[in-house]
Amino acid sequence: MRYLTAGESHGPQLTTILEGFPAGMPLLAEDINEGLARRQKGHGRGRRMQIEKDTAEIVSGVRHGQTLGSPIALVVKNNDWKHWTNIMGAEPLKEGQEDEIKRKITRARPGHADLNGAIKYGHRDMRNVLERSSARETTVRVAAGAVAKKLLSLVGVDVVAHVVEIGGVTAKVDSSLSINELKERAELSPVRVADPNVEVEMMAAIDDAKKNGDSIGGIVEVIVTGMPAGIGSYVHYDRKLDAKLAGAIVSINAFKGVEFGIGFEAARKPGSEVHDEIAWNEEMGYYRKTNRLGGFEGGMTTGMPIVVRGVMKPIPTLYKPLMSVDIETKEPFAASVERSDSCAVPAAAVVAEHVIAWELANSLVEQFYSDRFDTFMDEIKRQREYAREF
Ligand code: EPS
């Protein structure tokens, strides 16, 4: 499967085209809108989220609530577009209209795509870069991932994300919580954290950052249950599923690192405390007594829950800007100040959940390919039975 996204942050709409879903899969706009609404939430978001109310329109590939096997096109309109029609219009500017548009952006924001993007594409107005590099694009990545999540839910795979750290405040998550309890707790939290004891402290850290014109980052965790064992591959580097998940996480705006299971902690422990012992019983088939490797061995799923974490740097748009250089004069200047969020970690957790869902759905479609959704589901069922008895 593959998907493309198109759209500028303040353009008329965001679009995504998804290819490769089997025909006959149930799909409703509300399956997608739930994810979009969850992405808009979170303490620390700026004013833009009060302007938008993201909903997806399914404009092709679905008829009477079922996928057709043809490309699925989804559109999310930008409500803010009405304030930007002159600045962002596709038509050439008319005589005298130059005065109507805002100043050119010539002072790159450190940590953003602004300067590198301007050099690469030859843009003298860095708005041409920031409109597309904006995390607004994650809206349609969530829309695409929501269709993937629907496929996963129909074959018994559950994906949930929660926040485990914001601005140095760390959650202690009760490991006996079921995935559903975790999901419920995170959903009720304004910072998407499952540990109620740190919620207030996290919100205070966000408020402090905002008051100081600053921003803070954090760590999100995605947990997946129900993936069959043996998905992915060990035979070639570009078929390793954990590598694809790692790529998906680091492709989210502002994400700088990724780990599975105990992650970087593995560097500090002997092998006997890192690897998971293998066992078998009638009900589960093969399982691991622990899950320190986070659901992967040799680039393939083990059948244990997948546990993947990603680290998000603080958003680089600062109301207290860092120093930069004006590309017109080459003089030192404070970077441009643009409207932004002071912390988007809770929203980014939702994005992480959806980009992981996409990779997992893709891996299943690749391994159990069928043009028809019913036979695709049968194949997965057969695989589970086979793996249990193997
Ligand atoms: C973003 C800047 C802000 C955020 C935006 C990401 O947008 P604006 O420039 O319109 O204030 O609100 O995030 C979204 C619009 C979104 O939907 O998540 C940026 O520069 O990355």
Ligand 1 neighbour 139 (Cβ under 6 A): yes
- Mutate-to-test residue for ligand 1 from 5, 8, 9, highest number of ligand atoms within 8 A of CB: 9
Q: What is the pLDDT of residues 301-334, one digit of tens each?
A: 999 999 999 999 999 989 999 999 999 999 999 9
Q: Kindly report the protein residue whose alpha carbon is nearest to atom 9 of ligand 1.
A: 339
The Å distance, Cα 362 to ligand 1 centre, comes to 28
The Å distance, Cα 348 to ligand 1 centre, comes to 12
Look at strands 296-297 and 300-301 and give their pairing. Answer: antiparallel
Coil, strand or helix at 59 = strand
Torsions phi, psi of 234, nearest 5? -100, -5
* Atom number in ligand 1 closest to CA 46: 12
Q: Kindly report the protein residue whose alpha carbon is nearest to atom 12 of ligand 1.
A: 48
Determine contact, residues 76/136, Cβ cutoff 8 Å: no
The Å distance, Cα 60 to ligand 1 centre, comes to 27
- Give the containing element (helix H, strand E) for 379: helix 373-389
Transcribe 210-232 into DSSP letters. HHTT----EEEEEEEE-PPTT-B
The Å distance, Cα 213 to ligand 1 centre, comes to 16
The Å distance, Cα 62 to ligand 1 centre, comes to 30
Q: Kindly report the protein residue whose alpha carbon is nearest to atom 14 of ligand 1.
A: 136
Ligand 1 neighbour 342 (Cβ under 6 A): no
Determine contact, residues 293/300, Cβ cutoff 8 Å: no
Ligand 1 neighbour 136 (Cβ under 6 A): yes
Site of tokens 């929660």: 162
The Å distance, Cα 330 to ligand 1 centre, comes to 28
> pLDDT at position 174, please?
87
Could you give the maximum distance between any two Cα atoms of the chain, in Å? 77
Mean pLDDT by 10 residues, the chain (390 residues): 98 98 98 98 94 98 98 98 93 78 86 97 96 98 98 98 98 92 97 97 97 96 98 98 98 98 98 98 96 98 98 94 96 89 97 98 97 98 95
The Å distance, Cα 340 to ligand 1 centre, comes to 6
Kindly report the pTM of this predicted structure: 0.97
* Atom number in ligand 1 closest to CA 39: 18
Site of tokens 């930007």: 84
Q: Kindly report the protein residue whose alpha carbon is nearest to atom 2 of ligand 1.
A: 340
The Å distance, Cα 367 to ligand 1 centre, comes to 37
Counts of helices then strands in the chain (DSSP H, E): 11, 17
> pLDDT at position 98, please?
73
Determine contact, residues 315/341, Cβ cutoff 8 Å: yes
Ligand 1 neighbour 8 (Cβ under 6 A): no
Cα 198 from chain centroid (whole Å)? 23
Question: Hey, what CATH topology would domain 2-389 get?
Answer: Chorismate synthase, AroC fold (3.60.150)
Instruction: Give residue limits of the domains in the chain.
Output: 2-389
Closest CA to 360 of 144, 181, 139, 75: 144
Ligand 1 neighbour 78 (Cβ under 6 A): no
Ligand 1 neighbour 111 (Cβ under 6 A): no
Determine contact, residues 92/102, Cβ cutoff 8 Å: no
Ligand 1 neighbour 195 (Cβ under 6 A): no
Give Cβ neighbours of residue 301 (< 8 Å, ≥ 6 apart). Answer: 227, 228, 229, 230, 231, 232, 241, 295
Q: Kindly report the protein residue whose alpha carbon is nearest to atom 4 of ligand 1.
A: 340
> pLDDT at position 336, please?
83
Q: Which two tokens stand for residue 193?
A: 């954290």
Ligand 1 neighbour 46 (Cβ under 6 A): yes
